[in-house]
A = this chain, B = another copy of it.
Amino acid sequence: MKPQRSSSLQILLVTLGAFALAALFPVATLAEVPSTVDALPSWNDGAAKQAIVDFVKATTDKSSPDFVPPEERIATFDQDGTLWVEHPMYSQVVYALDRVPAVVKAKPELANVEPFKTVLSGDREAMAKLTTHDLEKILFATLTGMTVDTFAAEAKKWTEEATDSRWKRSYTELTYQPMQEVLGYLRANGFKTYIVTGGGQDFVRVYSERVYGIPPEQVVGTAGGTTYSYGQDGKPILTKDPKLLLNDNDAGKPEGIHLMIGRRPIAAFGNTPGDQQMLEYTGAGDGLRLKMLVLHDDAKREYAYGPAEGLPDTKVGAFTQDLYDEAKKDGWVVISMKNDWKRIFVFESAP
């Protein structure tokens, strides 16, 4: 678990840094932090970094016309492709596929039933052809039907053990260091940071505090219902149902934000059309707002995909030209991974 520790260590350092900063300079006077302290060392100087710093200064300086009281400083972040790597496939889908053998072991009759048969075969070419409906079957089978405690234990174990095939590191190490710095910088300035993800709420909550310093109650995600009942020992249990309560994508993001937070964010970060409505909703409030999109244009250090701006068109996490055009039109800031980030991961050499 050595690599994982270094990731947690970095997060801890960022968090501690934030606390230290907050202790030295109470929120109300953070605007007075000496300009020599760079809260975003993994960012190159440029429009994106400047937009973040300017926004934080304007919303936290009491003498600023754009001052926002601390309780209204809500910032929301998409996860996949915004806070961590989403290629070649969303981590949660890998988790679901990895769980199939255990599901079939518990229900042997599934071994010869599609799509479980194909997943068990390990035939990657056949697996790539699975339909959305097939994938839904796998997700329901692996993410529902157990108690919330059992699910959390299984998901926790997986996130601690599974490794990405390219970097040979835990998925939870593949968070973007520049975005970790934004999370820490915002929190040090009195912001409450939320993850608002299309991924499973229960899944992300398992590691959000360790990986991002974001507690489970600040994770909004795609959520299913649960049923309260009593186990054989008479103890209350909550069981995960195959019933969708919130599809936290597209219009579901502002709807989920209203349901779970009940306040409109003043800053929002995403990377696909699934985040568009969240950014629009954020921007539609009164006062200064920060809306940012991460563009994956760095094939060497991470991945390059669009199809915006002639980047390769991929199935996972598309940044469409329409989204790019809306961003330009509405003054949303597009972050170029290639040009704006000095480093992508904490395990790269420090900038």
- Which chain A residues have a beta carbon within 8 Å of chain B's beta carbons? 1, 71, 148, 192, 201-202, 205, 209, 215-217, 219, 223, 225-230, 234-236, 238, 245-246, 251-252, 254-255, 258-263, 277, 280-281, 284
Docked Cα-Cα span, A260 to B261, in Å, equals 9
Among B236, B254, B258, B277, the residue within 8 A (CB) of A280 is B236
Cβ contact within 8 Å between B148 and A226:
no
Cβ contact within 8 Å between A228 and B71:
no
Can you name 24 A-B pairs with beta carbons within 8 Å? A1-B230, A71-B215, A148-B258, A192-B217, A201-B262, A216-B261, A216-B263, A217-B217, A219-B262, A223-B259, A225-B255, A227-B255, A228-B252, A228-B255, A228-B277, A228-B281, A236-B254, A236-B277, A236-B280, A236-B284, A238-B255, A238-B258, A238-B281, A245-B246
Docked Cα-Cα span, A252 to B226, in Å, equals 9
Docked Cα-Cα span, A280 to B229, in Å, equals 11
Question: How distant is A252 from chain B, measured CB to nearest CB, in Å?
Answer: 8
Cβ contact within 8 Å between A217 and B263:
yes
Nearest residue in B to A206 (C-beta to C-beta)?
Answer: B262
Docked Cα-Cα span, A261 to B238, in Å, equals 14
Residues of chain B within 8 A (CB-CB) of A229 are 251
Among B209, B238, B254, the residue within 8 A (CB) of A254 is B238
Docked Cα-Cα span, A255 to B228, in Å, equals 7
Question: How distant is A104 from chain B, measured CB to nearest CB, in Å?
Answer: 27
Nearest residue in B to A205 (C-beta to C-beta)?
Answer: B262
Cβ contact within 8 Å between A236 and B202:
no
Docked Cα-Cα span, A258 to B280, in Å, equals 29
Residues of chain B within 8 A (CB-CB) of A228 are 251-252, 254-255, 277, 281
Cβ contact within 8 Å between B227 and A262:
no
Docked Cα-Cα span, A277 to B226, in Å, equals 14
Cβ contact within 8 Å between B251 and A284:
no
Residues of chain B within 8 A (CB-CB) of A209 are 71
Among B205, B226, B284, the residue within 8 A (CB) of A235 is B284
Cβ contact within 8 Å between B261 and A217:
yes
Residues of chain B within 8 A (CB-CB) of A258 are 148, 226, 238
Task: Find the residue from A209, A217, A235, A252 having the highest chain B CB count within 10 A.
Answer: A217
Residues of chain B within 8 A (CB-CB) of A215 are 71
Q: A216-B261, A217-B263, A226-B259 are in contact. List 12 more A-B contacts (CB 8 A).
A: A71-B209, A202-B262, A216-B263, A217-B217, A225-B255, A228-B251, A236-B277, A236-B284, A238-B258, A245-B245, A245-B246, A260-B260
